[in-house]
Amino acid sequence: MKDAYTFDKDEAGLDVSYQKQFNAYKNIMDRLHLEYRIVRADTGVMGGLLSEEFQALAPLGEDILVLCDDCGLSSNIEVCAAKPELASVEDTLEELTLVETPNSRTIEEVVDFLHRDVKKFVKTLIYNIDGTPVAVMVRGDRDVNEVKLRKLYGAANVELADPETVVKVTNADIGFAGPVGIGCELIMDEEVSHMYNFVTGANKTGYHYTGVNQRDFTAAKVADLRNIQDGDICPVCGGRVHFAHGIEVGNTFKLGTKYAKALDLQYLDSNNQLQYVWMGSYGIGPARAMAALAEQNVDENGINWPKDLAPYQVAIVIISMKDEQQVAIANKLHDELQAAGIEVILDDREERPGVKFKDMELIGIPYRITVGRGVKDGKVELKPRIGESVEVSIEDAVNEVKKLF
């Protein structure tokens, strides 16, 4: 990581420093020609007031980004609010009924067995929150968001409870947890509070309940506890969100006074009073940025590096090393380009031209000058890595390249 920290005397100062760093990061990402999004993110272990991430778009990225084209929402899934999908109101509440569901433990198995829409099911997951078991209810096709869970409890540690704990609080084998008669605190996702006549585990091995309604259990808390899903309602504008994958290549944090307090970092203000310093923290992962750029610019011939980032901007390839004129002109062009401040590599290996071309494309040199038979007529070829080659006169070659940069 490339790290930076700012130290200010108050929050207004931090806001100014943060904006300067943020703008500099944006300029860096733009100059790298990265395709990226800036997203709101969880402050996580760093803590503090605000966290924003620079996420390079890439299908194999490990982060899920929630984007809305209508309002420009751009958020890490970890912190993106999810709006409940409202179930249609049903007039009659069914009776709570215990049904045998042998060998059906996973939600898919129970859905198959009972032939009901997965949206009529509620999953109950037992979490270990700072050492205390808590049962969390979400609709059958939803996932619990552990960051939201951690924030709700102000907890340090949130993880799925171990099998022993699950068996203890449900009094049943794994796979049959439900809200009715559960032996620990029970909380539910807001969406579940809008559901009627649903199916849950029965806290009894081999059984589920149908006709479950809120009269049958007491939830200690109702809150947004689930991950938003691709195609869900946008929490900002009511449009539809879509997902993208991202590689986090940079982040900026407003840390506030968290670490100043921890380290007792203070200064004397104009009234001779000790005050805590306001901190910001900023990081870029250069190796991650390179990896993301390679992902975004790869083709069947290798990497097409952006021209400001390529190891060399121009490659000069000599077609025939036996031709003294070709060798001489290639060397002359090499020296002139170098003198003009262009980063240039001369391929004077005893290889076939095809091999040299392939290697220069593989490495990702953005432009190639080919010095071949044309030198007899005073010509060389100039070719971008992607695109057609043009003939230029030997005299103009350096100027033509300079124009490209």
Residues near Zn ion (CB under 5 A): 68, 70-71, 73, 234, 236-237, 239
Question: Cβ of residue 94: shortest distance to Zn ion, in angstroms?
Answer: 36
d(CA 202, CA 209): 5
- The DSSP element (H or E) to which 402 belongs, if any, is helix 394-404
Task: CB nearer to Zn ion: give 233 or 321.
Answer: 233
Q: Which spans in 102-230 are helix H?
A: 107-114, 146-153, 163-170
Question: Cβ of residue 70: shortest distance to Zn ion, in angstroms?
Answer: 5
d(CA 58, CA 73): 19
Please give the torsion angle defined by the CA atoms of residues 198, 202, 208 and 211, in that order, rounded to the nearest 10 degrees. -30
Residue 372, sorted as left (phi over 0), alpha (psi -120 to 50) or beta, turns out to be beta
Question: Cβ of residue 234: shortest distance to Zn ion, in angstroms?
Answer: 3
Question: Cβ of residue 232: shortest distance to Zn ion, in angstroms?
Answer: 11
| Tokens encoding 313 | 């901007």
Task: CB nearer to Zn ion: give 228 or 337.
Answer: 228
d(CA 389, CA 405): 17
Which of 104, 103, 145 has the alpha carbon at shortest distance from 121?
104
d(CA 288, CA 295): 10
Task: CB nearer to Zn ion: give 80 or 135.
Answer: 80
Task: CB nearer to Zn ion: give 114 or 236.
Answer: 236
Asked if residues 343 and 307 have their Cβ atoms less than 8 Å apart, the reply is no
Question: Cβ of residue 75: shortest distance to Zn ion, in angstroms?
Answer: 10
Taking the CB of residue 371, how many other CB atoms lie within 10 A of it? 30
Sequence-distant (≥ 6) Cβ neighbours of residue 46 within 8 angstroms: 253, 255, 281
Question: Cβ of residue 148: shortest distance to Zn ion, in angstroms?
Answer: 19
Task: CB nearer to Zn ion: give 68 or 186.
Answer: 68
> Position of tokens 């149908």?
210
Strands 314-318 and 344-347, bridge-based pairing: parallel
Task: CB nearer to Zn ion: give 68 or 147.
Answer: 68
The full length of the chain comes to 405
Question: Cβ of residue 38: shortest distance to Zn ion, in angstroms?
Answer: 16
Asked if residues 372 and 327 have their Cβ atoms less than 8 Å apart, the reply is no
d(CA 36, CA 176): 43
Asked if residues 246 and 148 have their Cβ atoms less than 8 Å apart, the reply is no
Question: Cβ of residue 143: shortest distance to Zn ion, in angstroms?
Answer: 21
Task: CB nearer to Zn ion: give 71 or 298.
Answer: 71
Task: CB nearer to Zn ion: give 146 or 232.
Answer: 232
Which of 298, 290, 263, 295 has the alpha carbon at shortest distance from 279?
263
Task: CB nearer to Zn ion: give 70 or 112.
Answer: 70
Question: Cβ of residue 83: shortest distance to Zn ion, in angstroms?
Answer: 11
Question: Cβ of residue 395: shortest distance to Zn ion, in angstroms?
Answer: 57
Task: CB nearer to Zn ion: give 47 or 238.
Answer: 238
